[in-house]
């Protein structure tokens, strides 16, 4: 089959998917300018601002990547009816990302990460957020609209940034919800192992190197032994598919309890790794949900990561960029 027709067929499959993203929604704010002097008030750079930029962050960046691939999503995460959420809704609407009203909570301050960038270098980051308990959404497990979204999805993606949306109650409730379904969705998790959640039985797990080592019971700075780490994760969590992102060392993948092997990185030039993990899990989810085997899905995700790290900030992969690569 010619490459063009393969791409067209995959694009059509992407467009017909229904994906629900559950996770920590953030608004990424970039203050961009130049710095040519040190402040007389303290030993810090003075940044002369040239522009402000607002883009989806956290789970919203995963949604941004999927929508850029032509895949419809429903984004569910906690936010408040505050000034920041007005900006967030505008940013999401501009990108045709459907933000569910189910996540609105009065006590859940909309999460904003502000990065000050001078000469393409991040000077500092300023975070605005509430305590994790304010963001929990496990009360939705009794909500009929929520139940219908989950049961009719092709994939449910848990995008955990350790802010509080993803809880054991939510994960276990969704496992029970889909257990008796005739067409159970893929359950995908981008994990944060320090939270000690019960992540057993997922369709796909996508930890990075340090997260994989922690999940395997090793120190995050240990040298990775592919076979041992894969075996330990499969034994502890029993995912159907496992993809470990290794940065400059590519990706390590396994399936059905066995390691498959590594693929080398596709990155040629790295400016900013922000959001690369979001791109990987988005492409993997859309590709596998569309019926691609793990090896081919990982090949596409690796290509996508190689593209987005060449951009500054959390830039999503587009379908055209991916297929051209």
Catalytic residue positions? Answer: 278
6 CB burial (10 A radius; 0-12, 13-18, 19+): exposed
* Strand pairing category for 241-245 and 186-190: unpaired
The per-residue DSSP string of 140-183 comes to: GGG-HHHHHHHHT-SEEEEE--SSSS--HHHHHHHHHHHHT-TT
Phi-psi region of 238 (alpha: psi -120 to 50; beta: other; left: phi over 0): left
Please say whether the beta carbons of 242 and 216 come within 8 A.
no
Residues 33/47, Cβ–Cβ less than 8 Å = yes
Q: Nearest Cα to 253, choosing from 288, 222, 219?
A: 288
Tell how many helices (H) and how many strands (E) occur in the chain.
10, 13
Name the token pair of 142. 């009794």
Report the side by side order of strands in the sheet with 121-128: 45-58, 25-38, 111-118, 121-128
Tokens of 28: 């990424």
Residues 280/301, Cβ–Cβ less than 8 Å: yes
């Amino acid at each position: 089959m010619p490459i063009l027709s393969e791409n067209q067929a995959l694009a059509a499959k992407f467009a017909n998917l229904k994906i629900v993203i559950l996770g920590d929604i953030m608004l990424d704010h970039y203050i961009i300018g130049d710095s040519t002097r040190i402040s007389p008030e303290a030993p810090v750079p003075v940044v002369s601002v040239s522009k402000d930029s607002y883009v989806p962050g956290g789970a919203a960046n995963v949604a941004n990547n999927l929508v850029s691939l032509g895949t419809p999503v429903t984004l569910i995460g906690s936010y408040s009816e505050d000034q920041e959420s007005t900006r967030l809704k505008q940013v999401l609407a501009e990108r045709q990302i459907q933000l569910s009203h189910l996540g609105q909570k009065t006590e859940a301050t909309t999460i904003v990460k502000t990065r000050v960038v001078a000469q393409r270098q991040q000077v500092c980051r300023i975070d605005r957020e509430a305590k994790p308990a304010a963001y929990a959404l496990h009360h939705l497990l009794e909500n009929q609209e929520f139940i219908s979204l989950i049961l009719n999805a092709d994939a449910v993606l848990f995008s955990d940034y350790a802010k509080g949306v993803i809880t054991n109650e939510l994960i276990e409730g969704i496992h029970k919800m889909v257990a008796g379904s005739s067409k159970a969705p893929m359950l995908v998790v981008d994990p944060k192992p320090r939270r000690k959640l019960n992540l057993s039985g997922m369709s796909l797990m996508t930890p990075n190197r340090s997260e994989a080592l922690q999940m395997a019971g090793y120190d995050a700075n240990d040298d990775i032994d592919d076979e041992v780490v894969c075996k330990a994760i499969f034994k502890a969590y029993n995912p159907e598919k496992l993809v470990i992102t290794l940065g400059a060392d590519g990706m390590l993948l396994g399936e059905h309890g066995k390691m498959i092997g590594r693929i080398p990185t596709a990155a040629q030039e790295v400016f900013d790794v922000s959001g690369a993990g979001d791109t990987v899990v988005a492409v993997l989810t859309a590709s596998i949900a569309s019926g691609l085997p793990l090896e081919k899905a990982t090949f596409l995700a690796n290509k996508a990561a190689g593209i987005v790290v060449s951009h500054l900030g959390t830039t999503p992969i587009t379908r055209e960029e991916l297929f051209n690569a």
